[in-house]
A = this chain, B = another copy of it.
Amino acid sequence: MNCEIIAVGSELLTPWRQDTNSLFLTEELNAVGVSVRFKTIVGDRRADLAGAVRTALGRTDILIVMGGLGPTEDDLSREAVAEALKMGLRRDGSLVAALSARFAARRMTMTDNNLKQADVIEGAVVLPNPNGTAPGQWMDTSFEGFRKLVMLIPGPPGECRPLFEEQCLPRLREVIPVRHIARRTLKATMIGESSADALLAPIYSTYPDVETTILAGNCEIQLQLACARATPEAAQARVDELAGKLEEALDEYVFASQGETLEQIVLYYLELKQATLAVAESCTGGMLGERITSVSGSSRSFLGGALVYSDALKTAFCGVALELLAEHGAVSTPVAEAMADGIRRHTGATFGMGITGIAGPGGGSDEKPVGRVYIALSDAYGTECSENNFRGDRQKVRQWATQKALDMLRRRMILYR
């Protein structure tokens, strides 16, 4: 079955706001075998909305209208859907009572416009919304002789998402044929999208029943696999079989086989080895530490480190010799290595990492262009350093630098096995 999602709200037609609920809804719908065929975004005008609803009912089986259920004059979804379906609205007594009670409990006066939220389209089931004042509505109805499922759900993410999961999905599952879908997400880094695809296409193309999507972004590649079967076990087995082959082909480039982040994987290995990490960051200015500490529980393995933006601090916190800085410059292999080694010794960590480079847009030269970043990794057995030339703007260069740093550490720990 297929579906159209209409997101309602004039703010969604400005340059500053975007519907993101529909991504969540799409994932949930796909998981029960419903594909999203159209998405429409329409402002708070009743005629526009009623027209969009008619268009949608004319081309898909399921319609989800999101937003426009609040108490203001601009909230017109109930009226517009009723108009498109040529149905009436009735004011629901128990919803009026619930609204009154809600306002009374908060010692607030309920103005008349709030009563709109008690209006229910003829034949609709009211979907309770414990997170807000406007309930949702569910209709199993017909339009021009065809059966249609129509849902009205609130727009704020904190109301939309739980209401859809708790009220709409179970009703959808009752109506549509049962399919079981299994999914896997593999992630790889430091390999380009086209190189990965050249490697993988000959494999996944022999599994036409497994939907394979390659996404590139945030310095990594994601492989999304999905397969539908009559039983969950059969679906999972088929996805796992393809995942295993793709993982083998990608070899050391794969860092996650169940959708984990690179930070999570690095922390997982650190903990497994009871090892600790300290960092010395120059051009990334804290981004590496920030990424690692974004994971809850990172304090078990991450000691901290130093932001050695100035040369003086490279010496003070990492013991980088002044002569080294003078001879090679702050952006150089010897300085990166001295930073990694110094921060490791200074903190007593198992691993020390040092990053120094030219993030741009200024500061580049012919010899050391913007994007040149030295990343060093030190442990008791020695120090290695990579010279990198990252492309992109300042933020992109810094993102790539932290990604490469995390990946160097991951690879080092895998070799230890």
Binding site for B on A (CB under 8 A): 11-18, 20, 23-24, 26-27, 30, 35-43, 48, 51-52, 55, 59, 213, 215, 222, 224, 278-279, 281-294, 296-299, 302-310, 312-313, 316-317, 346-348, 359-362, 394-395, 398
Question: Which residues of chain B have C-beta atoms less than 8 A from A35's C-beta?
Answer: 13
- Would A24 and B15 be within 8 Å (CB), given that A286-B281, A312-B303, A313-B304 are in contact? yes
Pairwise interchain contact A309-B303, C-beta atoms closer than 8 A: yes
Pairwise interchain contact B306-A306, C-beta atoms closer than 8 A: yes
Contact pick for A299, options B27, B286, B310, CB 8 Å = B310
Pairwise interchain contact A23-B18, C-beta atoms closer than 8 A: yes
Write the nearest CB–CB distance from A184 to chain B, whole angstroms.
14
Question: Which residues of chain B have C-beta atoms less than 8 A from A36's C-beta?
Answer: 13
Tell me the bound Cα distance from A348 to B285 in angstroms.
Answer: 18
Tell me the bound Cα distance from A279 to B394 in angstroms.
Answer: 21
Pairwise interchain contact B30-A15, C-beta atoms closer than 8 A: yes
Pairwise interchain contact A15-B26, C-beta atoms closer than 8 A: yes
Question: Which residues of chain B have C-beta atoms less than 8 A from A294's C-beta?
Answer: 285, 394-395, 398
Nearest to A35 among chain B residues (CB) is B13
Contact pick for A307, options B279, B296, B359, CB 8 Å = B279
Question: Which residues of chain B have C-beta atoms less than 8 A from A303's C-beta?
Answer: 309-310, 312-313
Question: Which residues of chain B have C-beta atoms less than 8 A from A20's C-beta?
Answer: 18
Nearest to A59 among chain B residues (CB) is B51
Tell me the bound Cα distance from A348 to B23 in angstroms.
Answer: 49
Q: Which of A30, A38, A360 has the most chain B CB atoms inside 10 A of its CB? A: A38
